[in-house]
Amino acid sequence: MSIATVCLSGTLDDKLVAVASAGFDGVEIFENDLVASSLSPKRIRERCADLGLTIDLYQPFRDFEAVPPDVLAANLRRAERKFDVMAELGADTVLVCSSVSPDAVDDDDLAAEQLHLLADRAADRGMRVAYEALAWGRFVDTFDHSWRIVRRAAHPALGLCLDSFHVLSRGGDPAAIRVIPADKVFFLQLADAPRLRMDVLQWSRHHRLFPGQGAFDLTGFVGSVLATGYTGPLSLEVFNDVFRQSDPNRTAVDAMRSLLVLKEKLGLVDLPRAPALDGYTGTEIATHDPALRETMTALGFHRTGTGRWRQGGATLTIRTGAATRITAVEVASTDPERSRRRAEALLARPDEHGVPAPDGTTVAFGTLANVAGEGLLTGIDHVSLTAPFDDVDQTALFYRAVLGLTAEPEAEFAAPYGLVRSLSASDGRVRIAHNVAMLRRGDWAPAVTDPQHIAFTTADALEAAKAMRASGARLLDIGDNYYDDLDARLAPPNLDELRANSVLYDRDEHGEYLHFSTDIFGDRVFFEIVQRVGGYLGYGVVNSPVRMAAHRRSRLRNSR
Ligand SMILES: O=C(O)c1ccc(O)c(O)c1
Ligand SMILES: [Mg+2]
C-alpha cells in the first residue's frame, strides 16, 4: 500500500511522517516535493527507511518521447541527472508521462525507439521506466496506445504505469488491461473522481478523490489489473485542492481507510465484516434549549430515566450542553464487539463512548432492546448530520465503511441561502444523511445554513401531525404555494389533508413519502416525522428548500 506525496499538504517531511503513521508501506516521491525539500536525496532515503517506508516510484518525468534528435539529446541528459537523484534515493522506477510538448511528433515508431533508448540507460543503472498515458497527452492519451508503444519498444526495463483516473475518465474499458502480461505492468496508481463534465486536465488536477469517494468503478479496474498477475504496489495518486491544504495526518488516515475498503472488496484483506444492523437503539442530543424538552412531551415521548426519552422503538437521550447538536448515534448491531473491531481496523479510535466520526458525532454500537410500544412514533428512520463542505467526502466514506452502508444517489438543491449538496447511505434499516452548504462566504446567510435533524417513523403522518399539533408541539407551517405546486406536479389524492396539516409529500416509482418538521431548537436541531408508504427510497429532498424557507420564517417569528 503506497501513496504519492502529491496527495498531501505540507513539507516533504510532514508528508512522510503522516504516510508512515497511517500505516502505508511506501511512497511515490513527487519531484516538486523533493526539489523544494532541504533534505538531500540521500537524507530522504534515510528518513524513509527510519519511518519504515520504501520509495516505490520517482515521478514525473515529462515530455521525453518522439522528438527531433537535438531535443532527444537534451532529454537523455535530463534523464541521466534524474537517474543520479534516484540512485541516491534508492528508487528504481521512474514514471514517464506521455508527452504534451509541442516538440513531439505523432510517430509511434519514433516514440518506441526513443523509449527503448531511455530504458537502456535506466537498465544500465538497474532501473526501470514506467510509461503512463496522460488523458491529455499530445498524441498518446489512452492506456491502449501507451501499451502499443511499450510492446513495440520491447525492452525489459520499459513497462506501463496504469492510472485509474486516466483510464476511467476517458471511458476506457479496463477489461482490455487483462491481456497485458504482468511483467509489463510496472506500476498501478489509483484515484477516484466525481462525474464532472469538464476539461480532463482540470478534472484530474483539482478533483480527484480517494477510491470509494467518487463515481469510478475502482474495484473493477483493480480487478482487471490484478488479473494480469500484477503484484506491485497499490498506490494512491490523488490531486485534490482540499487535500492539498488540509492536515496531512487526517488525509493520510482517510486515504488508508479508502484503500482498506477497496482491498476488502477485492478480497485482498480480511477486515472484521460489518455486522448486520437492526436499526437504531437511540440518538443523543446536547442542548441548552428548554423548548426542546418541552417538545418531546408534545411529540408523545415519555421519560424513562434521567435524560432518557422513549416512544415505541424511538429512544432519545437529551443531555445539557452549551450548544445544541446531535452528539451520538447509537445503532443496533447484531455483533457490537465486531462492529467496534471493524471500526478500529478502519483506523477509527473508539473510546468508552463509541467511535468518533470525522463530523464530530460519536457512533455507538448497542443491541436492540425489545421495545414494543404504544404511540404514534415507532422508531428512527434516519439521522441527518452536517459537515463542512470540504470534509463531506471523507465523512461519508467513514460512515459507509465503518457501518457497512451503501451510498445512495446524491442530490444538489438550491436552498434559500445557497446550494446544498445532500449525501446519504443506507442498508435499508440505518440511514445516515449529510447536508452541506456548498459555499460559506459572506455574512448574509444564517450561520447554520442547514441544521441537523432526527427523523422518526410513523405509520400515519397525518394522524401524527394532528395529534402533535393538538398537544402543542411547535410544528412547521407550510404555505399554500407549495400545495398548489404539489397539486400540479403529483396531484396526491389527499392534497387537502396534507395542506390542512402542513405535511410535505413526495413520490417515487416505489411508493410515497409524507413528512413534517418541528421548529429548530437551539439554532441547530429539529425533528422530522416521516411515513414511508410502499418502498419509497428517498428523503423528500425535493421539499427541502420549502422546509428551509419555512424554518427561516419560524425562526424570525420565534425571535420576535
Ligand atoms: O497532472 C499531471 O501532470 C500528472 C503527473 C503525474 C501523474 O502520474 C499523473 O497521473 C498526472
Ligand atoms: Mg498518474
pLDDT tens string 430-481: 999 999 988 777 777 776 666 899 999 999 999 999 999 999 999 999 999 9
Q: Taking CA 379 as the corner, what is the angle to CA 377 and CA 383, rounded to the nearest 5 degrees?
A: 115
- State which of 7, 236, 239 you would mutate to test the pocket of ligand 1, scoring each by most atoms of that ligand within 8 A of its C-beta: 239
Pick the residue whose CA is nearest to atom 7 on ligand 1.
Answer: 60
CA of 74 to the centre of ligand 2 (A): 24
Percent of the chain, pLDDT > 90?
A: 89
Domain spans in the chain, listed from the N-terminal domain onward: 2-265, 277-559
Atom of ligand 1 nearest to the CA of 95: 8
Pick the residue whose CA is nearest to atom 2 on ligand 1.
Answer: 205
pLDDT tens string 109-150: 999 999 999 999 999 999 999 999 999 999 999 999 999 999
* Mean pLDDT along residues 163-183: 95
Question: According to the annotation, is 382 in a ligand binding site?
Answer: yes
* Under 8 Å between Cβ of 149 and 112: yes
Pick the residue whose CA is nearest to atom 8 on ligand 1.
Answer: 60
pLDDT for the residue 172: 87
The answer on pLDDT for 407 being more than 90 is yes
The dihedral sign for the CA sequence 280, 281, 286, 290: positive
CA distance 406 to 428: 9
Atom of ligand 1 nearest to the CA of 60: 6
In the sheet with 355-356, reading across from the earlier edge strand, the strands are 302-305, 308-311, 314-320, 277-287, 325-333, 362-366, 355-356
Q: Taking CA 296 as the corner, what is the angle to CA 295 and CA 299, rounded to the nearest 5 degrees?
A: 85
Q: Phi/psi of residue 84, each to 5°?
A: -60, -45
Residue 388: pLDDT band (50, 70, 90) is: confident
Q: What is the pTM of this model?
A: 0.94
pLDDT for the residue 557: 80
Residues 6 or more apart whose Cβ sits within 8 Å of residue 236: 2, 3, 4, 7, 189, 190, 191, 210, 211, 255, 258, 259
Starting from the CA of residue 137, give the closest ligand.
1
Helix, strand or coil, per DSSP, at residue 420: strand
pLDDT tens string 232-257: 999 999 999 999 999 999 999 999 99
CA of 121 to the centre of ligand 2 (A): 23
Question: According to the annotation, is 264 in a ligand binding site?
Answer: no
CA distance 359 to 338: 23
Helix, strand or coil, per DSSP, at residue 67: coil
Give the other-Cβ count within 10 Å of 64's Cβ. Answer: 25
Helix, strand or coil, per DSSP, at residue 192: strand
CA of 216 to the centre of ligand 2 (A): 15
pLDDT for the residue 248: 98
Atom of ligand 1 nearest to the CA of 189: 8
Q: Looking at the structure, give the CATH architecture of the domain made up of residues 2-265.
A: Alpha-Beta Barrel (3.20)
The better pLDDT of the pair 47, 448 is held by 47
Question: According to the annotation, is 381 in a ligand binding site?
Answer: no
Query: Of the candidates 395, 376, 375, which has an alpha carbon nearest to the alpha carbon of residue 384?
Result: 395
In the Cβ-directed half-sphere of 111, how many Cα atoms lie within 13 Å?
28
Q: Phi/psi of residue 185, each to 5°?
A: -100, 105
Helix, strand or coil, per DSSP, at residue 151: helix
For helices 69-89 and 41-50, what crossing angle results, to 10°? 40
pLDDT tens string 325-349: 999 999 999 999 999 999 999 999 9
Ligand 1 pocket, CB under 6 A: 59-60, 95, 97, 132, 134, 163, 189, 204-205, 237
Atom of ligand 1 nearest to the CA of 205: 1
Amino acid at 519: D
The answer on pLDDT for 370 being more than 70 is no
- State which of 28, 131, 204 you would mutate to test the pocket of ligand 1, scoring each by most atoms of that ligand within 8 A of its C-beta: 204
- State which of 30, 95, 97 you would mutate to test the pocket of ligand 1, scoring each by most atoms of that ligand within 8 A of its C-beta: 97
C-alpha cell at 112: 518506441
Task: Give the helix/strand (H/E) hosting 365.
Answer: strand 362-366
Query: Is the complex ipTM more than 0.90?
Result: yes
Give the other-Cβ count within 10 Å of 470's Cβ. Answer: 9
Atom of ligand 1 nearest to the CA of 201: 1
* Under 8 Å between Cβ of 381 and 431: yes
C-alpha cell at 519: 421548529
Question: According to the annotation, is 189 in a ligand binding site?
Answer: yes
Helix, strand or coil, per DSSP, at residue 177: helix
The answer on pLDDT for 560 being more than 80 is no
What residues does 93 pair with on adjacent strands?
Answer: 128
* CATH node for 277-559: 3.10.180.10
Whole-angstrom distance between the N-terminal and C-terminal Cα of the chain? 58
CA distance 304 to 299: 15
Look up residue 542 and give its DSSP letter. Answer: G
The answer on pLDDT for 162 being more than 80 is yes
The better pLDDT of the pair 91, 442 is held by 91
Helix, strand or coil, per DSSP, at residue 466: helix
